[in-house]
Amino acid sequence: MNSLVQASQAAGSSVGLDVDRITINGGLPLRGRIEVKGAKNLVTKAMVASLLGENVSVLRNVPNISDVRVVRSLLEIHGVDVTEGENPNELRLDPTNVESAHMEEIDAHAGFSRIPILFCGPLLHRLGAAFIPDLGGCRIGDRPIDFHLDALRKFGAVVEKLPQGIRLSAPNGLHGTTVHLPYPSVGATEQVLLTAVRAKGTTELKGAAIEPEIMDLIAVLQKMGAIISYEPNRVILIEGVDKLEGYDHTAIGDRNEAASWASAALATDGDVFVGGAKQQDMMTFLNIFRKAGGGFDITDDGIRFYRKEELKPVVIETDVHPGFMTDWQQPLIVALTQATGESIVHETVYENRFGFTDALNTMGANIVVHPNGLSGTPRRVPRRNLEQAAVINGPTPLHGADIEVPDLRGGFSHLIAALTAEGKSTVSNVGIISRGYENFIVKLQQLGADFVLETK
Ligand code: EPU
């Protein structure tokens, strides 16, 4: 069994999804109402933050996705008592008995998620040492951790690379410092926040990422007793404190999941109300959605997405917030295959996030990926000049095919393509989708999709 199939089955099983293959009879518009819960990219980090508190934290609006399961399990092997709260989608995290975990137990989590790297600071504060297994996550490029390790060293951590992962210690404690990120990395910003809040002295973080999920993590940390201020021009100041309490927090909604269902509505000419979607966190997406011919109605409870007119081509460049998120391009590209004319998507955040387009081409799309870009203009990550571009010419009717999910967002795009295509498509490795999309099978049913599931 190859590693992708294994990862897919492990992810699916952890949330009770016993299928690994869906056969979709496409060509039907998705119509109805679904809800998104808390953002994967906040919830998992807030769970890690609970390690820093002296007492119980309560996190609400937690989705049942496999990335949450992985982080829960990593917390549990470090002695955090994680239990379901009184209400649905609520977790109680009790860090009173945090302890070192056995290396073999930690290693069993290797390759499943990128979150373990964020355990470094909290474990160094709590235990003076940490071991982090090899990281997983989606196969969308190199995904190095140099910014994380450079920052940790500046706080005073000693980093030792081992064959199975990295070992860290802090023989002289962790001290506030100045960190200037070469690129506003989401993970490295979170790393600095989670380390600086309990370091001795003040930390100045320059070049910080300011995604809504990061702002929500700052809100969590402030509830715990941290002193963090956001200054102009991507500067964050963190004054270290001696002690943090537990928090009680309701996670912000998942704007990536919301944008994915919005793209599915657009591609299938459907009409989907996404409960929990918030305009403020999705403004850049909404602008492009409208330019592409989509319509949306905003209410206090969520956003209704539909096709307003014949689809039109757009030019997009992915970027850090407040730009167009890289996680939005994959689902939207499926809709762009149905637009009349040439769309261009420049991917500037990751070097390899167009792999999913091969399957779309098999289904009849006309997408040409230019690995070295179209303009030769250097892009945002220094040293790597990411300038990959996809040119999508449409409209191209899609027809059914057998396709295999390559990664989380690419996988959801495959689902959208199968829903859009005329005829039957079989999508395998769908377990990977449960890393970030809660109950997506139930939601497909709620939206009237026609499909059958194949159990493992
Ligand atoms: N980078 C480095 N060195 C580092 C860290 C990052 O070169 O030490 C580079 C990366 O290789 C990448 C760029 O910086 O080219 C941006 O990476 P970033 O650190 O911002 O991403 P991340 O924290 O690993 C999070 C989300 C991703 C999302 C990105 C961008 C989580 C768990 N993951 O990843 O979400 O695409 O930020 O917003 O929060 C997803 O949800 O499907 C997903 C991949």
Which residue has the CA at smallest separation from atom 10 of ligand 1? 143
- Of ligand 1's listed atoms, the one at least distance from the Cα of 187 is 23
- Which residues does the annotation mark as catalytic? 138
Query: Where is pLDDT greater, at 225 or 455?
Result: 225
Q: What is the pLDDT of residue 163?
A: 80
Residue 18 pLDDT grade (very low, low, confident, very high; cuts 50, 70, 90): confident
Distance 318 CA to ligand 1 centre (A): 13
Distance 276 CA to ligand 1 centre (A): 24
- Of ligand 1's listed atoms, the one at least distance from the Cα of 349 is 15
Q: What is the pLDDT of residue 134?
A: 74
The binding-site residues of ligand 1, defined as CB within 6 angstroms of any ligand atom, are 40-41, 114, 138, 141-148, 183, 185-188, 209, 256, 325-327, 349-350, 381, 408-409, 436
Spatial contact of 352 and 140, defined as CB atoms under 8 Å apart: yes
Distance 409 CA to ligand 1 centre (A): 13
* Dist. CA 360–CA 160, nearest whole Å: 43
Which residue has the CA at smallest separation from atom 40 of ligand 1? 327
Per residue in 296-332, pLDDT (tens digit) is 999 999 999 999 999 999 999 999 999 999 999 999 9
Q: What is the pLDDT of residue 383?
A: 46
Per residue in 170-203, pLDDT (tens digit) is 999 999 999 999 999 999 999 999 999 999 999 9
Which residue has the CA at smallest separation from atom 29 of ligand 1? 186
Mean local confidence (pLDDT), 72-97: 95
Neighbours of 335 (CB within 10 A): 29
- Against a cut of 0.85, is the pTM above it? yes
In terms of average pLDDT, the best of 103-112, 125-134, 233-242 is: 233-242
Give the pair of three-digit tokens for residue 272: 């989907």
Which residue has the CA at smallest separation from atom 11 of ligand 1? 143
Rounded to 5 degrees, φ, ψ at 383 are 80, -20
> The tokens 């990862």 sit on which residue?
7
Average of per-residue pLDDT values in the chain? 92
Residue 278 labeled ligand binder: no
* Dist. CA 257–CA 282, nearest whole Å: 11
Residue 327 labeled ligand binder: yes
Spatial contact of 388 and 370, defined as CB atoms under 8 Å apart: yes
> The tokens 């850090």 sit on which residue?
320
Residue 55 labeled ligand binder: no
Residue 349 labeled ligand binder: yes
Q: What is the pLDDT of residue 110?
A: 66
